[in-house]
């Protein structure tokens, strides 16, 4: 599994060409102007990146989880912000594909897979982050409709998405009382908070999603009542692998920029690349990123096959990869000296964008909790 097939090499080359031409040249401006490039996302959708591991019968690409990890790493080399959003969108599409009935799949997947319609994942709430089982958004059955009330926090794509996958409480039985719902944009009573002012990820909108007596048909319930928490957690397993791959891609970009800079920059009469201490830093970055990449590939394989250790490996991969990616970016900034602090060199943006990866899809503290609990349960 450590050598890519010819098909996978072709996928990587295609994505790299797309990202180099359509994303990388604009990433700094998008970040500065807080611009969400929905037109470029649609172009990515035309190439099959809107439903990477969605089945093909309703427009998905039918690729593997490893294929997806390769794609997100390449996209993130150009812009971690856009790569991360595409990852979230794919998580929504997969959840509808995996847990929806044929009517739901036929209704929502074709436009999601082309990214003509964007998707947002709505789990976190203002008072509920890591303790997802304690969410308070409610869905009450009223005839042939559910009525939803509540607020979701830190929602990527909010205000621009066409569909919101919402986890809401249908009974007061802890995690067993959570149900998943497909909420279309334009639903009466659906509104959005102000754009959040963030450290990074500026090229994707982040807002609250507010539901005030939002009525949706029973047919928009994803799965049975009470199965939402399991659906959410299964979605997050894939999300953790994907965001880890995004971290590796961003970290690799920072490493590549550092090597190029140290070869060009001279100090004390010689190129900086000849300084042993700096070479050691490069070696550590390279090693940590390769370890992370290996973990991502292993977790992606486990996720694809549904092995018994999938949850553990996905948590490990997310923990290792997001730490390695941020450490590489932060070290790269130091290696660039004062120039690393300037936006012109692109390093400070990678630092800002990758920092949040250690928090979302389950913070790295939660990853340690998951790993530790599974270790002692053996």
Q: Is 348 a catalytic residue?
A: no
Q: Using alpha carbons, list the distances in angstroms from residue 279 to 38, 163, 269, 289, 325.
A: 40, 48, 17, 15, 18
Contact yes or no for 184/153 (Cβ under 8 A): no
Cα end-to-end span (Å), the chain: 27
Strand partners, 167: 180
Chain-centroid distance of CA 332 in Å reads 23
210 backbone dihedrals φ, ψ, rounded to 5°:
-110, 130
Check residue 197 and report its DSSP letter. Answer: P
Angle between helices 310-335 and 364-376 (to 10 degrees): 140
Token readout for 147 is: 């009525």
Coil, strand or helix at 345: helix
Check residue 143 and report its DSSP letter. Answer: T
What gap in Å lies between CA 178 and CA 134, rounded to an integer?
9
What gap in Å lies between CA 306 and CA 284, rounded to an integer?
32
What gap in Å lies between CA 120 and CA 89, rounded to an integer?
6
Coil, strand or helix at 377: coil
- 113: nearest Cα among 182, 211, 42: 42
Q: What is the CA radius of gyration of the chain?
A: 21
2-13 b/e with 16+ CB inside 10 Å = b?
eeeeeebeebbe
**Residue in the structure block whose two tokens are 């140290």:** 262
What gap in Å lies between CA 146 and CA 167, rounded to an integer?
13
**Exactly one of 266, 361, 365, 377 is catalytic; which is it?**
361
What gap in Å lies between CA 348 and CA 322, rounded to an integer?
16
Which residues are the active-site residues?
A: 361
């Amino acid at each position: 599994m450590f050598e890519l097939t010819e098909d996978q090499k072709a996928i990587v080359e295609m994505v790299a060409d797309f990202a180099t031409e359509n994303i990388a040249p604009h990433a700094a401006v998008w970040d500065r102007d807080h611009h969400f490039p929905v037109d470029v996302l649609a172009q990515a959708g035309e190439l099959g990146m809107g439903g990477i591991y969605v089945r093909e019968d309703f427009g998905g690409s039918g690729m593997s989880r490893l294929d997806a990890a390769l794609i997100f790493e390449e996209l993130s080399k150009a812009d971690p912000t856009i790569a991360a959003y595409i990852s979230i969108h794919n998580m929504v599409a997969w959840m509808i594909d995996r847990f929806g009935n044929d009517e739901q799949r036929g209704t929502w997947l074709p436009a999601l897979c082309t990214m003509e319609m964007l998707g947002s994942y709505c789990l976190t709430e203002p008072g509920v982050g890591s303790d997802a089982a304690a969410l308070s958004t409610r869905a009450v059955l009223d005839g042939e409709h559910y009525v939803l009330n509540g607020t979701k926090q830190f929602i990527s794509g909010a205000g621009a998405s066409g569909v919101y996958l919402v986890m809401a409480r249908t009974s007061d039985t802890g995690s067993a009382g959570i149900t998943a719902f497909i909420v279309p944009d334009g639903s009466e009573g659906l509104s959005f908070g102000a754009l959040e002012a963030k450290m990074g990820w500026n090229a994707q909108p982040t807002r609250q999603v507010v539901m005030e007596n939002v009525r949706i048909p029973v047919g928009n319930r994803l799965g049975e009542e009470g199965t939402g928490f399991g659906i959410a957690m299964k979605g997050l397993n894939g999300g953790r692998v994907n965001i880890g791959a995004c971290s590796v891609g961003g970290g690799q970009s920072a490493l590549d920029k550092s090597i190029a800079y140290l070869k060009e920059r001279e100090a004390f009469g010689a190129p900086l690349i000849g300084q042993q201490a700096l070479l050691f830093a490069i070696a550590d970055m390279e090693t940590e990123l390769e370890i992370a990449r290996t973990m991502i590939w292993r977790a992606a394989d486990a996720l694809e096959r549904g092995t018994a250790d999938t949850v553990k490996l996905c948590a490990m991969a997310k923990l290792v990869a997001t730490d390695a990616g941020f450490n590489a970016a932060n070290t790269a900034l130091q290696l660039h000296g004062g120039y690393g602090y300037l936006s012109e060199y692109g390093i400070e943006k990678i630092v800002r964008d990758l920092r949040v990866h250690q928090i979302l899809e389950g913070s790295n503290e939660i990853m340690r909790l998951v790993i530790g609990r599974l270790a002692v349960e053996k």
